[in-house]
């Protein structure tokens, strides 16, 4: 019986609708409900990855060519472009209602969007981040240079030869093919670079047996330059570049004392990454708020006259009407200066209106804006 009872109870709970645990808020009938706007700042970041591959003859570049070059492979990222956009969204934590049962307010100025916002000219739909990930590569110097990897080397061997009652060693000359050392190949490549440069100068100055002119001269010089560049890459190495774009969204919080946010981070291996990825160095967004003027009415010079004016029937009637009148809450955005910094370097600076950092004010619901 206990088993049957537990089974029935399990079925009863399973039959309960899931909506009980995730109820949606239902707005009351005969009311107009609206939300105040909130601004989200979106950084569009473009970064370039440089993958550098060290040349196989890099250690001999200074010896044979007199130049200093990078001596090891490395990968580094650099921010090339930062763009700032803003979108307006509904702040569900700041929702208000207007009652339409007893009176019909003039809502001509209260233009609501499909998101429940008071419509403003800078309202926009949210943007979807686009990511492009780089493909890792490897160094390839196989097609650089045309010199042979082998050389002929003379070796002296000895054999025993019987003469009368004794043996004596007789030398025998034999040629062998052996692999060149790295330094020998570097020296050979350096000699080829010098010859190519000399040949290019001869063609340009006309100090050759053949005559070059017009397109023929240009083609010959271009080919010599291409060969020289290939041989030089064996010493200087080469770089490959890939671009990555990413979007990062920051929603300023009016309750925060400091308006500084880690917008994203720059990783040595992955480039721009989200702010919660601690493998990168932080890129900071600083929001500087403008000064807001005080709108508190000044006290009149004669307090007694002000008190009598407040007690007058007309003033009391006007105050009662204002008290009974419905109010519409709205936000006046603060036009803030937004700075994006990587360390001490200022990447960008712009002025953007941010609603939640602005001023909350009201207007009578039956007011008509011209």
Distance (Å, whole) CA 186 – CA 231: 10
Share of the chain above pLDDT 70, in %: 60
Yes or no: say if 275 and 264 are a contact pair by the CB < 8 Å rule: yes
Range name among 10-24, 44-58, 167-181, 355-369 with the lowest pLDDT average: 10-24
- For 172-185, the pLDDT digits (tens) are 556 666 678 888 89
Give the pLDDT of residue 20: 43
Instruction: Return mean pLDDT, the chain.
Output: 74
- For 112-146, the pLDDT digits (tens) are 444 444 543 333 333 333 323 333 455 655 556 54
Report, as an integer, the average pLDDT of 30-44.
Answer: 84
Q: Between 347 and 99, name the one with better pLDDT.
A: 347
Give the pLDDT of residue 7: 36
Within 10 angstroms of residue 91's Cβ, the number of other Cβ atoms is: 18
- Could you tell me the residue ranges of all domains in the chain? 28-140+241-293+301-364, 150-232
- With 70 as the cut, is the pLDDT of residue 226 above it? yes
HSE of 313, CA atoms in CB hemisphere, 13 A: 0
Q: What is the pTM of this model?
A: 0.63
Give the pLDDT of residue 129: 32
3-class DSSP assignment, residue 126: coil
Closest of 87, 135, 150 to residue 113, by C-alpha: 87
Give the pLDDT of residue 22: 47
Q: Between 253 and 214, name the one with better pLDDT.
A: 253
The strand pair at 260-267 and 271-273 is best described as antiparallel
**Residue 299 has which token pair?**
């006290």
Maximum separation of any 2 CA atoms in the chain, in Å: 153
- pLDDT-based confidence at residue 10 (cuts at 50, 70, 90): very low
Distance (Å, whole) CA 265 – CA 77: 12
Report, as an integer, the average pLDDT of 49-68.
Answer: 92
Q: How deeply is 186 buried, as exposed, middle or buried, from its count of CB atoms within 10 A (0-12, 13-18, 19+)? A: buried
Closest of 248, 253, 251 to residue 265, by C-alpha: 248
Give the pLDDT of residue 125: 38
- For 280-316, the pLDDT digits (tens) are 999 999 999 998 777 666 665 566 565 655 556 665 6
Give the pLDDT of residue 176: 64
- With 60 as the cut, is the pLDDT of residue 21 above it? no
């Amino acid at each position: 019986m206990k088993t049957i009872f537990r089974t029935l109870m399990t079925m009863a709970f399973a039959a309960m609708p899931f909506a009980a645990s995730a109820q949606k808020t239902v707005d009351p009938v005969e009311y107009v409900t609206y939300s105040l706007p909130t601004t989200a700042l979106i950084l569009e970041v473009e970064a370039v990855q440089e993958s550098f591959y060290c040349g196989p003859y890099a250690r001999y570049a200074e010896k044979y060519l007199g130049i200093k070059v990078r001596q090891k492979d490395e990968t580094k990222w650099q921010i090339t472009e930062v763009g700032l956009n803003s979108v307006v969204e509904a702040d569900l934590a700041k929702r208000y209602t207007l009652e339409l049962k007893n009176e019909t307010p003039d809502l001509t100025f209260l233009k609501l969007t499909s998101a429940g916002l008071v419509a403003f000219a800078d309202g926009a739909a949210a943007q979807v981040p686009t990511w492009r990930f780089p493909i890792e590569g490897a160094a390839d110097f196989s097609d650089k240079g045309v010199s042979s990897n082998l050389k002929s080397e003379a070796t002296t061997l000895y054999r025993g030869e019987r003469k009368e009652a004794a043996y004596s060693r007789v030398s025998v000359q034999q040629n062998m093919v052996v692999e060149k050392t790295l330094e020998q190949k570097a020296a050979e490549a350096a000699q080829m670079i010098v010859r190519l440069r000399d040949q290019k100068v001869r063609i340009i100055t006309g100090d050759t047996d053949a005559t070059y002119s017009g397109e023929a001269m240009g083609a010959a010089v271009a080919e010599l330059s291409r060969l020289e560049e290939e041989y030089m890459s064996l010493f200087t190495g080469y770089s490959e570049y890939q671009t990555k774009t990413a979007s990062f969204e920051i929603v300023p919080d009016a309750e925060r004392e400091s308006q500084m946010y880690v917008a994203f981070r720059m990783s040595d291996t992955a480039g721009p990454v989200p702010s919660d990825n601690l493998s990168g160095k932080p890129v900071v967004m600083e929001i500087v708020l403008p000064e807001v003027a005080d709108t508190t009415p000044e006290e009149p010079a004669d307090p007694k006259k002000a008190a009598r004016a407040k007690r007058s029937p007309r003033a009391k009637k006007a105050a009662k009407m204002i008290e009974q009148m419905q109010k519409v809450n709205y936000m006046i955005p603060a036009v803030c200066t937004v700075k994006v910094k990587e360390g001490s370097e200022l990447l960008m600076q712009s002025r953007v209106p941010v609603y939640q950092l602005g001023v909350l004010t009201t207007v009578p619901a039956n007011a008509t804006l011209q």
